[in-house]
Amino acid sequence: MAAERFRRVVWIVLDSVGIGEMPDAAAYGDAGSDTLGHIASARPLNLPALGRLGLGNIRSLAGIAPAEVPEAAYGKCALASPGKDTTTGHWEMAGIHLARPLPLFPNGFPRDLMEKFESEIGRSTLGNCAASGTEIIERLGAEHLRTGSPIVYTSADSVFQVAAHEDVIPLWELYKICETARELLRGPYEVGRVIARPFLGEPGSFTRTANRRDFATPPERGMLLDRLEEARVPVHSVGKIFDVFLGRGIGDHDKTKNNADGMEKTLAALEETPAGLIFVNLVDFDQLYGHRNDVEGYARTLEAFDAWLPTLLSRLSAADLLLLCADHGCDPTTPSTDHSREYVPVLAWRRRGAFAGRGSLGVRETLSDLGQTVAENFGVAIQHGTSFLEQIL
């Protein structure tokens, strides 16, 4: 008789919490990157809940001892697709493997493309370079206030980002501008995401607001959320999951302002979604601290999640499965402020006792193993990945 499967899966992506360089990291300029390892070495981390689950069993981490009997199955996943960005990582979780990396524009976007964009939106632009979001707003924000020209920039990821002061370009217009960019960015220019980056404040004290919006390129048909929709499995997303997948297969969704808001909305989703998949992205690790090389901020945010985790576990029943993972790295201790090509940790927890002696999931070849595990649990399948469902039942 087959083991009983889980009625509900709560899947939380700790955005950018990598656990050490992949073998090909040097090809991406990321040799030696180790997000969790370097933070743990730089400053003591107090992560008792994650430690009990088995975070320190995945690999040696300063100050995080391996659990004698981990409460979760534990392992790490490689990224099989080329790249190291949000879209690539999340799509691979859902079963999409990219044959080639999404296009990058380290020297800015072609002039003819920008001229067409400016003509379509009726405004000139500033920037058109690779930059840190906070840095370029400080550098060009005053000129933006004077001219009304939106700030266009990219990064080491496949993104076209548009920053504008909410009092200069209202949100509805900024979103329209981004929709125009999304339509123009096709073929060789089809970046993974166009991102609206609104901000407020005065020169010297600009702050980005919570009204960010992502406009993703459409994921291939047949990915996990499509299959769940076909099987009438409810999906409730929290955070930027909805934007990354263009809402496909997602019934209910919650935008979030920050990790604290995301964690609160995850608990609320437990009441609203008694069965199916609750798919969560907590972005502060990456957006606020990894990209800003803020080791202390990153460490505090990890500890805040760890302090909240027991509350989540107390709300889950024996019919629930909790999956914790990341999508890539973003090591705040390196000179780079970009994502890093790293393995990601995997923890799979369920209430029915600890995983004594059989908890290691090993090194998984692809993030699609997570998606295939969720798929098998709900009686469907995706193109890539090997399920580890039987090991955690």
Q: What is the pLDDT of residue 356?
A: 59
Write the pLDDT tens digit of every residue in 71-128: 999 999 999 999 999 999 999 999 999 988 899 999 999 999 999 999 999 999 999 9
Listed residue (336, 357, 281, 381) closest to 74, CA to CA: 357
Q: What strands lie across the sheet with 360-364, from one edge to the other?
A: 252-254, 235-238, 276-282, 8-14, 320-325, 344-349, 72-77, 360-364
Q: Which two tokens stand for residue 373?
A: 């595990």
pLDDT at 155: 87
Q: How far is CA 159 from the centre of its chain?
A: 14
Task: Check residue 340 and give its pLDDT.
Answer: 96
Q: State the CB neighbour count (10 A cutoff) for residue 296.
A: 12
pLDDT at 157: 84
The stretch 301-317 carries a mean pLDDT of 98
What's the rounded Cα separation, in Å, for the pair 17 and 239? Answer: 16
User: DSSP readout, 370-384?
Assistant: HHHHHHHHTT---SS
Residue 355 scores a pLDDT above 70: no
SS3 category, 177: helix
Mean pLDDT of the chain: 95
**Global pTM exceeds 0.85:** yes
Question: pLDDT digit string (tens) for 197-221?
Answer: 999 999 999 999 989 999 989 999 9
**Whether pLDDT at 354 is above 80:** no
Looking at residue 332, its pLDDT comes to 97
The pLDDT assigned to 2 comes to 45
Per-domain boundaries in the chain: 8-99+218-392, 111-216
pLDDT at 1 over 80: no
Q: How confident is the model at residue 3 (pLDDT cuts 50, 70, 90)?
A: low
Average pLDDT (223-238) is 98
Q: Which CATH architecture has domain 111-216?
A: 2-Layer Sandwich (3.30)
**Cβ within 8 Å of residue 87, ≥6 positions away:** 102, 158, 192, 193, 216, 217, 244
By percentage, how much of the chain surpasses pLDDT 90?
93
> By CB neighbour count within 10 A (0-12 exposed, 13-18 middle, 19+ buried), where does 65 fall?
exposed
Nearest to 341 by CA among 13, 94, 19, 28: 28
pLDDT for residue 313: 97
* Cα(275)–Cα(158) distance, integer angstroms: 35
Top-tier CATH class for 8-99+218-392: alpha beta
Are residues 80 and 367 in contact, defined by beta-carbon separation less than 8 angstroms? yes
Average pLDDT over residues 304-333: 97
30-64 pLDDT, tens per residue?
999 999 999 999 999 999 999 999 999 999 999 99
The pLDDT of residue 253 = 97
